[in-house]
Amino acid sequence: MKTKVAIIGSGNIGTDLMIKILRTSNILEVGALVGIDPSSDGLARANKMGVSTTAEGIDGLVKMPGFNEIKILFDATSAGAHAYHDKVSREHGKTMIDMTPAAIGPYVVPVVNLDKLLDAPNINMVTCGGQATIPMVDAVKKVAHVHYAEIVASIASKSAGPGTRANIDEFTETTSRGIEAVGGAQLGKAIIVLNPADPPVMMRNTVYALSEDTETELIRKSVEEQVAKVQEYVPGYRLKQEVQFERIGDNTPIHIPGHGDFSGIKTSIFLEVEGAAHYLPNYAGNLDIMTSAALKTAERLVELRKDA
């Protein structure tokens, strides 16, 4: 029997996750899609696909007849709204998988730390940019200590809904912290850019890691192995260019103001994420990587609980 879940938020991310579960999951079943706007496209889509809906937010969900059977809640709203959703979720003993950058619970990036944190009542999925880039920081860190890692995520304007737009600071802050806490960089920095080009541009991520000196071949191999692991749940995730290296000598170190001088190797990783086009077209890799990571996390959670 499939485990029932509910998705809070009927915007781009919530709707994409709903369609993804319906089409691909043998483990999960969508018990409800929860919105606050009765005229939203996401709720209309759910009704068409036979998924129960409410337009009265999480309070409406609690009142729904099937609420007791729902084990896992996904939050696809915004950081500001998440605190209340978390409170209600805990009161009813549900597990919350948080896709907003609220970061109340520990960060999970499936290829890096999935099994370590799954007993927490609230799990945070960092950000779309974090899901795309933290695996790469981790790949470099497996080979050499990372002094500093920086990521630039570019997404198509059309794929950034009002929640993302109102939470730009939360994106950069949460991603930076995730680069440190999960990626293992001593210092993390994140930048996001919205590009309105038409036709829309594919999600791009660039990762710069400044690590201690080592064989560049070891870094290249570690990065390529990690890309293959991410591809297992995000098929459109790929290296756009060969991994680039630059040796930073002790005589010409990189000066990071406020932090000091660093030498070693600068690794530049150019990624592209093509979405599965479950809701928005394939340029929206940012939706796909977030919802794929959340789905993978929930499925693993169910498996582990069955074993236990």
Give contact residues for other proteins (rule: CB under 8 A). Answer: 150, 152, 154, 157, 162, 165-166, 168-169, 171-173, 189, 191-197, 201, 204, 206, 208, 210, 240-242, 244, 254-258, 266, 268, 270
Catalytic residue among 128, 151, 201, 287: 128
3-state secondary structure the chain: CCEEEEEECCCHHHHHHHHHHHHHCCCEEEEEEECCCCCCHHHHHHHHCCCCEECCHHHHHHHCCCHHHEEEEEECCCHHHHHHHHHHHHHCCCEEEECCCCCCCCECCHHHHHHHCCCCCEEECCCHHHHHHHHHHHHHHCCCCEEEEEEEEEEEHHHCCHHHHHCHHHHHHHHHHHHHHCCCCCEEEEEEEEECCCCCCCEEEEEEEEECCCCHHHHHHHHHHHHHHHHCCCCCEEECCCCEEEEECCCCCEEECCCEEECEEEEEEEEEECCCCCCCCCCCHHHHHHHHHHHHHHHHHHHHHHHC
CB of 149 to other proteins, least distance (A): 10
Q: Is 207 or 280 the residue whose CB approaches other proteins more closely?
A: 207
128 is catalytic: yes
Query: Closer CB to other proteins, residue 43 or residue 209?
Result: 209
Roughly what angle, to the nearest 10 degrees, separates helices 41-48 and 12-24?
A: 20
Q: Nearer to other proteins by C-beta: 36 or 152?
A: 152
Query: Minimum distance between the CB of residue 281 and other proteins, rounded to whole angstroms?
Result: 17
Q: How far is the CB of 238 from other proteins (least distance, A)?
A: 13
CA distances from 142 to 110, 149, 185, 218, 262 (A): 16, 14, 11, 9, 19
Q: How far is the CB of 118 from other proteins (least distance, A)?
A: 31
Q: Give ∠ CA 40-172-34 in degrees, rounded to 5.
A: 25
Report the residue number, 268 or 282, with the smaller CB distance to other proteins: 268
Least distance in Å: CB of 244 to other proteins? 7
Residue placing its CB nearer to other proteins in the complex, 36 or 239: 239
Nearer to other proteins, 11 or 31 (CB): 11
Active site residues: 128
